[in-house]
Amino acid sequence: MAMTPEYTDIALALASALIAGSLIGLERSYHGRPAGFRTHALVSLSSALLMLVAVYQMRWFGGTPLEAVRIDPTRMAQGIMTGIGFLGAGVIFKEGLTVRGLTTAASIWVTAALGILYGVGFYFPATLGTVLTLGILAGFRFLESTMPSQSFSLLTVRFERERILTEPDLRELLTTHGFSIPNLSYRLVNGGREFEYETMIRTTREGDISTLSSDLLARADVLEFDIRPHGD
């Protein structure tokens, strides 16, 4: 089979889409994400293949006059982006009170978009989009690690009914460790023999949870406590 200019364009589009998807997938695989190298490569390649079907659909009709056929390649793009939502939803999962996989789902979505661009031959925006996507995934990770951010945890602490730590004292304890407390809830448990506080605590320092845990562990009046990171 002779390598015509048309076939050269098709090969270039598929190779470009495959390389872009692979690079994004490598970044995800490196960070241990479930949708990694092969998933992103396949998403980008399949998007490009489907768009090539739309771009070259005049080949379907043989000698049919052009005016007898209505072509709308954007419908294929719409179908791809709708369908990719199911794959993106599959990598989002809840781990305790934390939601994980949102970035991977977004990377799958943008990989599909890049595959569409490569498939129709828009190489400049597709290449620029690939570079920007890799920059976001790699560079923004560094920015996130250096900029201050609030972390949330759900705190549950239990006392004997006769040895309850008062609310002002509990608030003072948490404030001393650098936490802010929007509200508290109260509950009697174990037939009313024990009293339980529950609250969402917030801090901007990584070590605050560890020091609070050590302090609660050393207190004789604390029967049980539970500190769970919350993906707020």
Could you give the maximum distance between any two Cα atoms of the chain, in Å? Answer: 91
The residue to which tokens 């489907």 are assigned: 50
pTM for this entry: 0.59
What mean pLDDT is reported for the chain?
Answer: 80
| Nearest in space to 36 (alpha carbons), one of 141, 100, 111 | 111
Query: Residue 146 has what pLDDT?
Result: 72
pLDDT per position as a tens digit, 141-188? 777 667 666 778 889 999 998 888 889 999 999 999 888 887 889 998
pLDDT of residue 34: 66
Half-sphere exposure of 143 (CA within 13 A, CB side): 6
d(CA 219, CA 100): 34
Residues 186/191/192/195 CA torsion (nearest 10 deg)? -40
Sheet containing 151-160: order of strands = 184-189, 194-203, 151-160, 222-230
Residue 39 confidence class, pLDDT cut points 50, 70, 90: confident
Give CA–CA dist 112/43, Å, rounded: 6
Do the beta carbons of residue 86 and residue 64 sit within 8 Å? no
